[in-house]
Structure 1
Amino acid sequence: MRKHMPPTRAPDGSRGTAMRHPRHKRKRPTADAATAAAAEHEVHPLADPARPIPNLACADRFEEYYRAQLGRLGVTGSEWTRFIKTLHAPLPVTFRVQPVGIGTLGDECRRSFDALQAAGGLPEVTPLPWCSSFAVEISKEALKTSHEPALAGLQTWLSKWGALGACTRQAIESMVPVALLKVEPDHVCLDMCASPGSKTTQAIEALYAGGAATGRGFMVANDASPTRCQMLLRRCAALGEMSERLLITCHPAQSLPWLPRLDASAEAEATAVGGEAGRYPAGCFDRIICDVPCSGDGTTRKNPSIWHRWSQEYALEMHPLQLQIAMRGLALLKVGGLLCYSTCSLNPLENEAVVAALLKRCAGAVEIVDCSRELPELHRAPGLTSWTVMDDALQEHESHAALQRSTALPAALKRRFVPSLWPPDPKEAKRKLHLDRCLRLLPHLANMGGFF
């Protein structure tokens, strides 16, 4: 998203809390003991035998829900089978190497990997030049437990160069936000929910493009958890001298304070934006990574436990917090700056619904940037312009008003459905909001996890 004029209203800075478990207990269908016992031993036809699914009811609801949502993108028939089958398969091992020109360490790392490949015995290796990365067609579990010399050598290589900071284990889809933001040496950048830090290190490397840092750019990496900040600190410490351009903060992302400006024109710019100094302070970041907390249901390839605990109600819990964090990010963004909103969820309630609400609240102050020509090597699907709002029993609700009139749900659950969950008018969604410009990374299109 690009900010091209100041917002016309102050962002909602109220705090939000992400709940781990839904408060509303689902009503389970009645079944006799024999049927229930048989269901426990039933095997999912597409599940990896090494990663069985103990709760098929959740997996069935997952498939029914996304068959309805993604059918609007043409994911039906044989393509649906490919999609769901890929979601059950483990991810390949992927890693990012420091781009050429940053320093000698990255170049040595590349030469070392070339020698490892030349020795033979590795599975198929796919270079990904758009993100300075490689994909090895083997799962991390198989790599970790293998006793083959070539694979043991790869595991040793990843550990060695990862500790030196020249190589970072990172999923392909996770590299996309920073690649789209096109960070430059002069940019002041923010990662709002940074831990464990792979996107942060990717952005820092971009600040050093061409060798030693020549601009005034730096990176602020934030996380709300002190424990996760320690993890972030350890990950970034491996970058050595490049970490001198890094500031780590521990603060709720939805209420991050403004960064003090380094130039003398800050007060004048703030006055120009809001009509009086301090009312609407000028943005302070050129690039913002807004990878918000989410239900994570696009990560089944990495976290197969999602199959037996999936619930639509997780999206209801996440939506308000995601909207608060993204609104705060836009408030901190400079006019002309870029913010990338992303999740590892497939759910439109956490993705397009949040983006649509942002655009409506900002009333023309921001727009979705057309990235259709960016990263042409990356296979993707467009964003949804319409979707269905359902409860956890997969009952559709046409509108917020209709749901509030319904007697099928308890009042406590009704309160968790907010109006911004519902899609805008179809013509507005495509012609005015341009929700189709969003990028959906579907697993079967590029052998990756689900991402938005």
Structure 2
Amino acid sequence: MQLSPAFITSMETFFRQANYSPADLQAFLSSFDAAPQSGLRVNRLKTGALAARARIKLEDCWRQEGLDPDGFKLRPVPWCSDGCFYQPGTRPSLTLAHKLGLFYIQEPSAMLPASLLQVQPGQLILDLCAAPGGKSLRLAADLRHRGCLVANEINDRRARVLLRNLEQQGVRNCIVSNASPEQLAGLWPERFDKVLVDAPCSGEGMFRRDHKAAAAWEAYGSASVKPLQRSILDCAVRLLKPGGELLYSTCTFNPDENERQIAALLLRHPELRLLPAEKRLPETCCLSPGARLPDLEADTSHCVRIWPGASGGDGHFAALLEKAPRQAYSALQTSAGAALTKPPLSLSLCQAVLAVAGPLLKPQAQRLLQSQLSKNGRLTGTHLHLWPPVLPLPDALHLLKTGLYLGDIRLLGEKSRSQDRAKHRNQTAVYSFKPSHSLLMALPRTYFAQALDWPADDPRIVTVLGGGSVPLSEAERFKLRQGVQTAYIPVFAAGYPLTWLQPGRGAYAKNLFPPGWRG
């Protein structure tokens, strides 16, 4: 591709200052003429805990669709245990497996930051610049539905893309916020075990894939993003617990946004120290150490880079930092944040929810729902959620997702407990419940009292994805009549959740596949 002379000059200066060889520079510039590699990351929340097993199940799903998985020529991404390169020119995004949330399409280099952070179940994690969601999805998979992930995106439109990706992949224990880093730092100081900052950058690693990125670089360069990166990093430090870890990453090569940004951060925040990120992954991962630049006052050699070319990725930079324990420095003098404003569900409302939602579930799942509702159930208007109990969620914060969205519950009216209203004035509230698509995508088949199970080649799947009403066979209608009578029936395709159907009196059922997901 035709590179900007200004970009070439800036890279020549960088390589000379870092004592890289002319051959290294030539290999780097030549990599822009190669076709970019494509990757996908298997969703362990749906396909199993082991990446190897997940790949087998993913390939089985493709075979059920009549596709040859060998045609995608999957090969492992060295720095991501559940990541794969796939053959350029193929389109796994068009498969049913992708629409069911079994994997996420992601540029291979972008899989590095979440791999380095090494999240553990039960931790409280913040992805501060999360859209479109690839890194958040890996963090959520590492949590395994335990602990909580806060995925934040300041741009409203991108935040909604983030929300869809998290719900499609069945993430339960997640908050999606649409806020500035400054606002979060004021609400949740020193709350998070680990914080990921995949910062806005000049995007030099995206030049091969997106020519608009190259044009934007020529117009603005990196000067416009460096102050923003600095501000976001300072907020991230405020949000991080003492003893917690901060991962900073970009998809650019410019040392001003990478090593120099980290060196300046270490000078501003002596409570931070740079960890050897290269030791988090095997030596076979093609990671290069951070550049040693003569003007830096801090050693940044423990930062890591992925260079385009031999690695197979577009390029990435990452730095892993640790915040000292509180006794080692003067802690921030900040409030603990606003109190939780939504009251828990009353006992009568919990019982009403169980009465209308319980029949959808098997007895064991009903008991689990009852336990969770009494502790974490919250109602916002008609929307019923299981809120994560780990953070205060004030009304001032714009939230798109607060834990697991169960569905809509509405009061229909009052029903007398006796036919004789004159003698018995006691009345019970009558509610209706419409389950959410989020609930379906987050639960396995074994939780539901009854469901329709379709093979992957059932032609009605295409109808569902397009939003059309679905014909039910006589055998299916008979099965539904014999089972627990509910207004909504979950449908599973190849064993994975697809949609809710609302059966009618005739042969067709109303399809509740979300309008924004259709096509």
Matched, 1:127 2:81: no
| C-alpha separation in 1, matches of 2:305 and 2:204 | 14
Matched, 1:164 2:92: no
From 91, 101, 112, the equivalent of 2:48 is 101
The C-alpha deviation readout for 1:88-126, integer Å capped at 9, x for no partner, is: 323122100123634998763243358899947626432
CA-CA distance at 1:127 after TM superposition: 1.8
| C-alpha separation in 1, matches of 2:55 and 2:124 | 24
| C-alpha separation in 1, matches of 2:66 and 2:275 | 39
Do the aligned partners of residues 353 and 74 (structure 1) sit closer, same or farther apart at CA in structure 2, a change above 3 Å counting? closer
Do the aligned partners of residues 254 and 303 (structure 1) sit closer, same or farther apart at CA in structure 2, a change above 3 Å counting? farther
Matched, 1:302 2:223: no
CA-CA distance at 1:385 after TM superposition: 3.0
Alignment-mate amino acid for residue 132 of structure 1: D
Matched, 1:189 2:54: no
Hey, what does 2:9 align to over in structure 1? 64
Matched, 1:329 2:221: no
| C-alpha separation in 2, matches of 1:191 and 1:155 | 25
Matched, 1:442 2:307: yes
The C-alpha deviation readout for 1:153-188, integer Å capped at 9, x for no partner, is: x4533xx22221210001111111111111111110
For structure 1, the residue ranges without an aligned partner over 5 or more in a row are 1-46, 48-52, 145-153, 261-280, 388-422
Hey, what does 1:84 align to over in structure 2? 29
For structure 2, the residue ranges without an aligned partner over 5 or more in a row are 318-519
| C-alpha separation in 1, matches of 2:274 and 2:280 | 14
Deviates more, 1:220-229 or 1:92-101: 92-101
SS of 1:315's equivalent? coil
| C-alpha separation in 1, matches of 2:111 and 2:237 | 21
TM score, norm. by length of structure 1:
0.63
Answer yes or no: is the 8 Å Cα contact 1:258–1:284 preserved in 2. Answer: no
| C-alpha separation in 2, matches of 1:207 and 1:123 | 29
The C-alpha deviation readout for 1:232-283, integer Å capped at 9, x for no partner, is: 111111122xx220101111124423556xxxxxxxxxxxxxxxxxxxx5x1
The 5-angstrom pairing of residues 270-309 of structure 1 reads: 283-309=190-216
SS of 1:186's equivalent? coil
Answer yes or no: is the 8 Å Cα contact 2:59–2:69 preserved in 1. Answer: no
SS of 1:122's equivalent? helix
SS of 2:222's equivalent? helix
The 5-angstrom pairing of residues 13-52 of structure 1 reads: 47=1
Matched, 1:203 2:143: no
Answer yes or no: is the 8 Å Cα contact 1:191–1:220 preserved in 2. Answer: yes
Alignment-mate amino acid for residue 93 of structure 1: S
SS of 2:205's equivalent? coil
Answer yes or no: is the 8 Å Cα contact 2:125–2:149 preserved in 1. Answer: yes
The 5-angstrom pairing of residues 39-438 of structure 1 reads: 47=1, 53=2, 59-99=4-44, 101-102=48-49, 108-112=57-61, 119=68, 122=71, 124-128=73-77, 130-138=80-88, 142-143=89-90, 154=92, 156-157=94-95, 160-208=96-144, 213=145, 215=146, 217-240=147-170, 243-258=171-186, 283-311=190-218, 313-363=220-270, 365-376=271-282, 377-386=284-293, 423-424=295-296, 428-429=297-298, 434-438=299-303
| C-alpha separation in 1, matches of 2:65 and 2:75 | 14
Aligned residue-pair number: 311
Do the aligned partners of residues 305 and 88 (structure 1) sit closer, same or farther apart at CA in structure 2, a change above 3 Å counting? farther
TM score, norm. by length of structure 2:
0.55
CA-CA distance at 1:76 after TM superposition: 3.2
Alignment-mate amino acid for residue 352 of structure 1: E
Do the aligned partners of residues 105 and 342 (structure 1) sit closer, same or farther apart at CA in structure 2, a change above 3 Å counting? closer
SS of 1:356's equivalent? helix
CA-CA distance at 1:72 after TM superposition: 4.1
| C-alpha separation in 2, matches of 1:334 and 1:248 | 20
| C-alpha separation in 2, matches of 1:108 and 1:61 | 48
CA-CA distance at 1:83 after TM superposition: 1.4
Answer yes or no: is the 8 Å Cα contact 1:191–1:200 preserved in 2. Answer: yes
| C-alpha separation in 2, matches of 1:245 and 1:117 | 35
| C-alpha separation in 2, matches of 1:342 and 1:165 | 26
The C-alpha deviation readout for 1:135-167, integer Å capped at 9, x for no partner, is: 1241xxx336xxxxxxxxx4533xx22221210
Alignment-mate amino acid for residue 105 of structure 2: R
| C-alpha separation in 1, matches of 2:128 and 2:230 | 13
| C-alpha separation in 2, matches of 1:304 and 1:133 | 25
| C-alpha separation in 2, matches of 1:123 and 1:85 | 26
Do the aligned partners of residues 118 and 308 (structure 1) sit closer, same or farther apart at CA in structure 2, a change above 3 Å counting? closer
Q: Percent identity of the aligned residues?
A: 27
CA-CA distance at 1:196 after TM superposition: 0.4
Answer yes or no: is the 8 Å Cα contact 1:86–1:447 preserved in 2. Answer: no
SS of 1:87's equivalent? helix
CA-CA distance at 1:63 after TM superposition: 1.2
Do the aligned partners of residues 137 and 239 (structure 1) sit closer, same or farther apart at CA in structure 2, a change above 3 Å counting? closer
| C-alpha separation in 1, matches of 2:254 and 2:230 | 14
| C-alpha separation in 2, matches of 1:321 and 1:119 | 46
| C-alpha separation in 2, matches of 1:312 and 1:372 | 34
Matched, 1:451 2:316: yes
Do the aligned partners of residues 308 and 227 (structure 1) sit closer, same or farther apart at CA in structure 2, a change above 3 Å counting? closer
| C-alpha separation in 1, matches of 2:23 and 2:272 | 38
CA-CA distance at 1:328 after TM superposition: 0.6
Answer yes or no: is the 8 Å Cα contact 1:131–1:175 preserved in 2. Answer: no
Q: Higher Cα Rg: structure 1 or 2?
A: 2
Q: Which has the higher contact order (CA 8 A, sep 6+)?
A: 1
